[in-house]
Structures are given as C-alpha cells and as structure tokens.
Amino acid sequence: MGSRIRFREWFFLLALLVMVGLMMEGCGLIGQQATGAGGNVVKIGAALSATGALAREGELMKRGYELWKDTVNEKGGIDVGGKKYKVDIIYYDDKGDATTAGKLVEKLITEDKVDFIMAPYSSGITAAASAISEKYQKIMIAPLANADSVYSRGFKYLFGVLYPVGEGFGLHIDYLNTLQPKVQKIAIIYPDDLYPTTAAEVVKKKAEGAGMRVVYFQKFPKGTQDLSALISGVKSSGAEALITSGYFEDNVLMVKTAKELKLNVKYLGGMGAPTQPDFVKTLGKNAEYVIGMSQWEPTSGWKGPFFGSSQDYNALYKKKYNEDATYYTAAASAGGLALQLALEKAGSVDTEKVRTALRALDVETFFTPIKFDDTGFNRSGKGLIVQIKDGKLNIVYPEKLAQSKGVFPMPEWDKR
Amino acid sequence: MLQQLVNALLLGGIYALVGVGFSLIYGVMNIINLAHGALIMLAAYTTFWVFQLYGVDPFASIVISMALFFVIGFILQKYIVNRVVGQNVLMTMVLTYGFELIAVNFALYFWHADYRAVNPTYAGTGLEIGDVVVPYIKLGILTVAIVLTSLLYLFMTRTKIGNAIQATSLNKDAAQLVGIDIQYIYSFTYGLSAALAAAAGTLIAIVYTVTPSMEGGFLGKAFVIAILGGLGNSLGAIVGGVVLALAETFGVVVFGAAYQQIVGYVIFLLVLIVRPCGLVGRRFFSEL
Amino acid sequence: MMATRLTFLGKISRPLRLIAYAALAILLGLIPFTADGYWVRVCTNFFMFVIMVEGVNIISGYTGYAALGNVVFFGIGAYVTAILMSTFGLDFFIALILAGIVAGAFAFGLGMPILRTKGHYFVMATIGLNELVKQVVSNLDSLTGGGKGISLPIPSMPPRINYAFFYFVMLAIAIICVFVVYRLSKSKFGYGIRCIKANEQAAGVMGINTTMYKALAWTLSAFFTGLAGGVYAYWQTFIEPPVVFDVVFAIKMFLMLLLGGQGTVLGPVIGTFVVEFLGELIWGHAADLQLGILGTLVIVVVLFVPQGLVEVTRNKTIGRIFSTRRVKEPQPVEF
C-alpha cells in the first residue's frame, strides 16, 4: 500500500503543477504570441475536423486553405492598399462537433486575435460556429455549408461560397429530364441531418414539379450501418432511379447493398461522395456508372484571377498532392480567394471595409462566378453532374461542359 | 416480405458476432467494455492491411486476427484491467473508455481518416431463389457467427477452462476456494472476447467502410444485443442479434426507416426492466 | 464511511475565512471583464460541467445508481428551452425554469420503472433511455426540427456582455447546485439515500421509502442537469440531437466524478476543474495526440487514484497542504 500512496502523492503534485501552469497560461504569462507585430500579416483562423466523423472532409478542406495560403505567400502576399500582406492560418480541431467549433471560433477571435475566420465543414457546424463570429462582428467565409437555413438568419458577416444545396442537388432532376426513356418513378433516401434533409426535401419537390412520382421517400438515422431493409423497400416500390443525399459512408453502403440485393435501377445517384477519390478506391468496379453531383471539377471550365482556370488550379493541386482536386478542396481555396479579392479591392484589412467589398464582389473565378446576395450566399454558381466511368469522373451534365454522354440506363449488375 | 426476413436474419448474424464478445466479458467480469467497438475497428484495419498487402481473403485472415487480438486482450487484462476488476462497475467502464480513446487516436494518427474498404472478387454476388437474393458474404458471416457461438458454447460447457470461467462468473470467491486462478481466468476471458471482436471486425471490414470513427455505432448495438440475449450467454447472442435485426428491419417496413432504432431501443428498455436476464437467459452472477 | 469536509483554509478563524470567500467571489466576478472571451467561455463550460457532474453525483455518488445516461436530461432541458423560446416566444428565465421542471418530472415518471433495475443494468437502461429520447426528438420534426436542429433567438447584447451574462447564469446555478448538494449531504434525505447506496434492503427495513427516495434523488439530479441544458441551448443558439444527447458527454461526466471523488461535495468541482482545464491545455498544444493523452489520463486515474482527488487530500503529507477536517458521521447500519 505504501508505494501506491506515494504514487498518488506524485500524481497529485503533478496535477497541481499542471493547474498552476494552466493559470499562468490563462493569464498570458507563458506562451504569449506576437499579435501581428510585423503588421503585414493577415491572420486567419480556421476550425476544422481533424478527428471525428468528418475528419476526411476536414482534411480535404485544409488542403484547399493551405494551397491558397502557400500560393499567396509565394507570390509575396496580398496587395492591400499598396502594402503586401502575407497570410497566416491558425487551425484547430473541432472534432466534428458544433459546440467545440463554437468554442474554437471564440478562441480564434478573442485569444489568437485573428482578422478573419474560415468556416468548418458542414452546414450544421457552420450554423453554430457562425453565431459566434457574428456576435464578434468578424467575417466568416463558409466554403462548404450551403443549406439555406444557415443564411436565412439575417447574419451580416457570413459569406457562403458554395451555391445552394437545393439547386445543386436538384440538378439530378434536371439531368433525369434530359434522359430517354423518361424516368417516372424515383426513390430518395437520406440520413437525418440538417444538410441531407434540406437537400432531399428540395429535390422531392422539384421531382414532383417535373411530373415524376416519388415512390419511396425515407429518412434513416444518421450513421446507420445497414440499408438492406431500405433497399429492399426501394426494390419493391418499383423505382427506376434511386438517389441519396447522404454522406460518404451512406453512399458507399447504398451502392454495396444495391448490388448485393440486385436492385437494378436505371439511375443510381449520390451527392458529393462519388466525386471523392476514396469512393472509387472503396467500391472498386462497383462504383462504375454511379452518378454524383459536383460543385466543381477540374474540367469545369471557369477561369479567373490568381489561380487562372480550373485546369490550372488542378495542375497546381496535383503537383502538391499527387491526385486530382475535388470540389471540397477547390471550394476552400475559392473561399480564400474571395477574401483575397475583397482585401485587394478594399485596400484595407478593416472588417467593415472588407465586408462592403465582399458584398460588392462580382467576379468569375476558377471555381465558379462569385457574387454574394443580400444574405451573403453565393447563388451564381452552377453545378455539374458527373458519372464514374472506368474509375474516372466524367461530366455528363450540363451539356455545355459534358465530356461524354452519360451511360443510361446503367447496366444491370449481372451484365457487367 | 420474404426478402426482408432474409435481410433481418443475415443482419442478425453480423449483430450476433458484434455482441457475443461484449456479452461474454460483461457476464463473466461485470465489465461494460467500452473498448469493444475500438477492438472491432482495429481488427477491421488489420484485415484491410492483410488484404491490401498480402491479398489474404478475410474469411482466411480471420484466424490471424483472432489469434492476434486474443494475445492483445490477454495482455490488456493481465497487466491493466486485473488491477481494478471487481471494483465498482463504473471504474472498469471508464478504464475501458481510456483504451478506446487511445485506439481511435492510434488509428487516426497512423492511417488518417481516409475511407477504406476490403473488396474481394465475390463482393456483391449472391444466391437467387425466386425473387429473394441471399448475398454470399452475409451468408458467410451468418455461418461464421453460428459456428463461433456454438464453439464458444461447447468450449464453455465441455472444457475445463470453460467450466472454470463459468464457475468464476457465478461465484468468484467459491471458484478461488476450489483452486481456480482467477487472474488467469479473467485474462483468458478478455482474450476470448477480444478474439470474438476481431472476428466481427474482420468480417465487418468486407461489408462496411473502414474508418477510425466506425467504432461508435457497433458499440451501441453490442449493448442492446448483450442485454437481449442475456449476459455471458453465447447462444443468447445469436438470439439477441436476430431479434434486434428483426426489430430494426420490420421497424423500417412498418413505421418507416426513421423509426428503425426507436423500435430497437424500446425493446431493449422493456427487456431491461421486465426481464433483465435476457430473453433466453437465466440469472447470472451479475444480478446478485 | 467517513466524509471529509474540505476547507482550503481549514484552521483559520472565521472572519479570515469570510475574507477568503469574498476574495474568491471577487475573483470569479472579475473574470468575465478581464479575461479573454475564450477563457470566459472555458469557465462557463466549466461551471456547466460542475452542474452536470454534481447532478450525477446526487444519483450516482450518493444514491449509488450510476446514471450514465444522465445526459438525456441535459438534452431535454436544452430542447424544452429551445422550443419554448423559439416557438412560443417565452422569456429565457421562464423557459429555463420550465426546462428544469420538465426534466425533473421526466426523471420522476421514468424513475419508478427504471430505478427498479440495479447496478450495471441501471447503467445500461439509462444509456438506452438517452438513445431512445434522442431518436424520438430526431423524429418529432414539427416540434423539434428533427435532425435539422433548432435555432434559438439570438440575444441582442454585445458579445462581452452577452457572454458575461451566460457566465454568471451558469455560475449562479453551479453555486446553488453545490450548495444544495452540501445541504443534502447533511440532511435526513441525504442520509437516507446514502443508506440506500450502502445497503438498499437494509434501508428499506429501517423504514426508508427507497423507491420514493431514489426517484426524488434522480428528480433533483435531472432538474439541475436540465437547467444546465437550458442555459447551454440559449448560449449556443443552435442545438441538434447528436450534440445535446451525446454519450461521450456522459462518459466525460463520469470521468470527472471519479477523478474528483464520488459522494463528496467538492469532488465533482475538483474533478471537473482538472479535466476541463487540462483538456484545454492538451488540445492547445498536441492536437494530434489529444485523444490518446486523455485516454492515458483516464487509465492513470482509474489505476492510481480510484477514490478521487478529494481522497488524496486525506493522505497525511499532502493533507497538510490543504488541512482537512474530518467529520464523523453516522455509519450506515450493516446487517
């Protein structure tokens, strides 16, 4: 018993020391940071998921921010009123959790004294985090949050780069309308979460407006591990097309289960997941012909200042990360770019001036055109429908940008 | 409808595998092993790497991962958990939560959050009987689940060490009096449970996406399955797994997919309150 | 069983002690006006956990029923506040009190059947209850917004005042909560529930209405937890089911309780302090390894300080630093 007690004493003393250390840090006695002493630094804060369920998306976003930052700094910085400002980004891990994200945004604003905030991934977390930045009247650029409800709260300092979820996801219906023979019955399944629910509801309305019948419309619990019951339901509903607004794992599970249960629909569509490189890696040959919705592809064909064209951006990304860029990364870079353009135009790092400049922004970039409406939402982009062919993404819609005609109806599982 | 029934039975096989190891540890040592999901996750990664690097089929590598995780479990129990076993149920539970955190951090640190999957050539193929499709993989998993739980049952009832484990779980002090090395039995049990988690993880790797955050959902299922089947009851795990799968599947059919889990949890709570020894169980040490 | 009353400035005279308390009060009162907003938030979070951990302490530490799923009341409190404020336009404080009452009533109603289960079955039942309520809330779309979450009206105060407001509300509830637990520990009711923990059958034989005592203890626990949830909802202005019914939250609460010491008045405060502030330190400096470090800490705590930090102060050497006074209390009768 004796030695054990001694250990406890040590432990307790250690705990005491740690507490003292914490208090000292809290009072700023140690680890004090130079707060923009040079003056020529734009300090940006970003809370992103490095752990938790959204860690992968968080990583892709971080690459986008980093690519923008590095490119800016290599070119000497942002030209603000004749002075060159370098970019510095401070990252924290929000663990995919809204509360933590809120806490971190406050830390970034009050402790790290950042000038601007880049938002986390997903609409739900951004909704929580932006409430904090709005309070402090700091500009938050949200590259990957596009549920309408995030912007309908009358916030003045929040800017969303990605165009609205409904319009993007609704492209599935636009595309289906161009296909022959016409699809009459569609099934929609989605997890119970802010963004997927919004998307599913919008697309349902749109499908009905286009004269289709939504024969199966089901919400499943977030993070479900089995979809066989739903897929069987889809099968007996006689749907010709199945689309989901779920996250990556939901999409993968949907395709796997559809194959397993021999659900032969003509059209199997998802949200952003099929455009992630992991999708083909995970599903292999079964990923073929799956259709996804992208906000941006290297072949999007936009061009604009700084990064040049979509292709140029992709080349830059490829040089660094050895794979093609996804819209997650591109959107993050575009968020940075929007801020950069506003800074240049404003000629000042003052929040109010930059905010006015952001509001007035109307420019085509490598990502999409960017023009924020009164709610701070960029509605001017255009989405793409892509299909996986030979393990690669092919743009099939809109026709103007299509690389090849889509394969429709998709071949039955047995006949591949 | 028939298809839904088949779906439920096959899902039940996966659930049984997930639950059986959790139930064993819980029944024998009264430990709510929060690391169970993490063990499944680590085993899924082991399977992924063995498949990716050496092309070993998961149904074959299951032996490797079970052996590996038996050793890991044995060591964990012997050197760490045994120091606090038998104390307050909270202590051991929080302790295993510590394991879980470390395991998840480990996976994130070394393998990042990338989504991975094991894709054997027969993935997605299945037997067609009329309108009903029976996927081979899930059929295989159900078979493995039945074989493993039956083996476990035989092991517990027919072998000396199995009897010792049962004796220990029924009455620790009496078992000690008749000369059973409790510490060893505990370590062995944890090893066994970890090996079963490994079996589950190995096969789940073929069905689901492998990520560091996959552990949570399975842990929740393990809770329900263990209670439904009765703690420490190896055959009960099959019953628990199938009942849960039936409840969830028909929850989808009858009430809609959104109510899938509600049905499962309502049954769970009712069983806990009305019949805590499980649907098929008898009273075990832990209720005393 | 002996309980230790921890008085940080044990043997000094009463006036001096009052001065010390006053100093502490002034310090706590000054934080929101001097510290960074971020630290105000960390402190508010700390008070919130104090409330929840004391809540768990009542049902788990004193009564011996380990309500792991106690976070369910947090979620209920948060949702009741959110719905009352955003849908019915009620004032925050009225909504908050109602939230606490609803959470308490919920615990009382469910306490009767669920408290019948014992030991780890109770642990499991509360976890199941939490998951169940979470799923139900996710599906009552028209009332709760379902999985889309629900937004609360945003308070129209400038940030500094706004966060100071939440700081003081949380602090006030935390103080009340600690005080209630302190009174509880010396009341007849407190002895009753401790008796139940020691030996429930014996307690029944002695004439304690065990069912009622247990249900009341859980009601009290749920009331405070619900209040914490209510303040949290207004503080965050946006809540969704996975966040306010988070099991990880629940486990963290128990970690704090174990670390500080179960069934003590100040244990939860100390445990929460260490975990919260240590947590801040860890992820500020080692983001890659934060989970692993927390996990290691958990294991170390369970292995080496299983009775909690409050117990450590009883130890002679370290005890002198704090000077503890032991209060003898009636021992539960053993049969």
Q: What is the DSSP string of B52-95?
A: HHH---HHHHHHHHHHHHHHHHHHHHHHTGGGTTTS-HHHHHHH
User: How far apart are alpha carbons A92 and A98 in whole angstroms?
Assistant: 13
Question: Which of the pair, B157 or B276, is modelled with greater confidence?
Answer: B157
The H or E element containing residue A303 is: strand A303-304
Number of inter-chain CB pairs under 8 A, A vs B: 126
Q: Which of A:133-192 have CB within 8 Å of C?
A: 134-136, 149, 153, 191-192
Residue B163 has pLDDT above 80, yes or no: yes
Mutate one of B118, B122, B260, B261 to test the A interface: name it (highest A CB count within 10 A): B260
- Interchain contact C306–B (C-beta under 8 A): yes
User: How far apart are alpha carbons B176 and B182 in whole angstroms?
Assistant: 6
- Interchain contact B32–C (C-beta under 8 A): yes
User: How far apart are alpha carbons B262 and C131 in whole angstroms?
Assistant: 8
User: How far apart are alpha carbons A291 and A274 in whole angstroms?
Assistant: 7
* Model pLDDT, residue A350: 92
* Structure confidence at residue B287 as a pLDDT band (50, 70, 90): very low
Mean pLDDT of C234-240: 88
User: How far apart are alpha carbons A312 and B189 in whole angstroms?
Assistant: 59
Domains contained in chain B, number: 1
Domains of chain A: 41-163+299-370 (3.40.50.2300), 166-294+384-415 (3.40.50.2300)
- Interchain contact A323–B (C-beta under 8 A): no
Q: Of A197, A155, A256, which Cα lies nearest the Cα of B122? A: A256
Q: Which of C:227-266 have CB within 8 Å of A?
A: 236-238, 240, 242-243, 246
Per-residue pLDDT tens digits for A239-279 = 999 999 998 889 999 999 999 999 999 999 998 889 888 89
Binding partners of B (≥3 Cβ pairs within 8 A): A, C
Q: Tokens in use for A231?
A: 């897929």
- Interchain contact B211–A (C-beta under 8 A): yes
* Model pLDDT, residue B87: 75
* Model pLDDT, residue B272: 87
Mutate one of C238, C247, C291 to test the A interface: name it (highest A CB count within 10 A): C238
Per-residue pLDDT tens digits for A312-330 = 999 999 999 988 898 899 9
Residue C274 has pLDDT above 60, yes or no: yes
User: How far apart are alpha carbons B190 and C36 in whole angstroms?
Assistant: 48
Cross-chain CB nearest to A93 (options C35, C238, C287): C287
| Contact between chains at B216 and A223 (C-beta distance less than 8 A) | yes
Q: Which range (B277-281, C225-229, C301-305) has the least confidence?
A: B277-281
| Contact between chains at C120 and B97 (C-beta distance less than 8 A) | no
* Model pLDDT, residue A33: 43
CB atoms within 10 A of CB A210: 15
* Model pLDDT, residue C2: 39
User: How far apart are alpha carbons B115 and C25 in whole angstroms?
Assistant: 51
Mean pLDDT of A47-54: 81
Which residues have C-beta within 8 Å of that of residue B281, sequence separation ≥ 6? B229, B230, B231, B233, B236
Mean pLDDT of A226-241: 93
Residue B33 has pLDDT above 90, yes or no: yes
Residues of B in contact with A262 (CB under 8 A): 126, 128, 133
Residue C1 has pLDDT above 70, yes or no: no
* Structure confidence at residue C326 as a pLDDT band (50, 70, 90): very low
- Interchain contact A224–B (C-beta under 8 A): yes
Backbone CA torsion sign across A223, B113, A336, A251: negative
Return the residue of A nearest to B257 by Cα. A220
Q: Which range (A97-101, A334-338, B190-194) has the least confidence?
A: A97-101
Q: How far is B167 from chain A (nearest CA, A)?
A: 30
Q: What is the mean pLDDT of chain A?
A: 86
Longest dimension (CA), chain A: 83
Q: How far is A10 from chain B (nearest CA, A)?
A: 19
- Interchain contact A416–B (C-beta under 8 A): no
Q: Which of C:147-166 have CB within 8 Å of B?
A: none
| Contact between chains at B94 and C289 (C-beta distance less than 8 A) | no
Residues of C in contact with A199 (CB under 8 A): none
Q: What is the mean pLDDT of chain C?
A: 84
What is the domain range of residue B92? 2-287
| Contact between chains at B133 and A262 (C-beta distance less than 8 A) | yes
Residues of C in contact with A109 (CB under 8 A): 37-38
Report the length, in residues, of chain C. 335
Which residues have C-beta within 8 Å of that of residue C69, sequence separation ≥ 6? C123, C125, C126, C127, C128, C129, C130, C131, C247, C250
| Contact between chains at A5 and C315 (C-beta distance less than 8 A) | yes
| Contact between chains at A111 and C36 (C-beta distance less than 8 A) | yes
Residue A34 has pLDDT above 70, yes or no: no
Cross-chain CB nearest to A110 (options C37, C238, C283): C37
Exposed / middle / buried, residue C244 (Cβ in 10 Å: 0-12, 13-18, 19+): buried
Q: Of A136, A155, A147, which Cα lies nearest the Cα of A193? A: A147
Mean pLDDT of A22-42: 52
pTM for the whole thing? 0.85
Cross-chain CB nearest to A22 (options C154, C277, C291): C277
Question: What percent helix, strand, coil does chain A show, rounded to 5?
Answer: 45, 20, 35
Return the residue of B nearest to A193 by Cα. B258
HSE-CB at B36 with a 13 A cutoff on CA atoms is 30
Residues of B in contact with A232 (CB under 8 A): 3-4, 7
Cross-chain CB nearest to A229 (options B133, B138, B253): B253
Binding partners of A (≥3 Cβ pairs within 8 A): B, C
Q: Tokens in use for A364?
A: 């085509």
* Structure confidence at residue A10 as a pLDDT band (50, 70, 90): low
Mean pLDDT of A293-302: 86
HSE-CB at B188 with a 13 A cutoff on CA atoms is 18
Cross-chain CB nearest to C243 (options A9, A25, A98): A98
* Model pLDDT, residue C141: 86
| Contact between chains at C299 and B95 (C-beta distance less than 8 A) | yes
What is the CATH classification number for the domain harbouring B107?
A: 1.10.3470
Per-residue pLDDT tens digits for B97-113 = 999 999 998 998 888 87
Residues of B in contact with C128 (CB under 8 A): 223-224, 265, 268-269, 272
Q: How far is B166 from chain A (nearest CA, A)?
A: 32
Cross-chain CB nearest to C236 (options A21, A99, A149): A99
| Contact between chains at C128 and B224 (C-beta distance less than 8 A) | yes
All structural domains of chain C with their residue ranges: 36-246
* Model pLDDT, residue B161: 93
Q: Tokens in use for A106?
A: 């406050």
Residues of A in contact with B115 (CB under 8 A): 56, 248-249, 252, 276, 278-279, 281-282
Cross-chain CB nearest to B223 (options C127, C139, C291): C127
* Model pLDDT, residue C334: 38
Per-residue pLDDT tens digits for A147-160 = 888 888 889 999 99
- Interchain contact C42–A (C-beta under 8 A): yes
| Contact between chains at C255 and B94 (C-beta distance less than 8 A) | yes
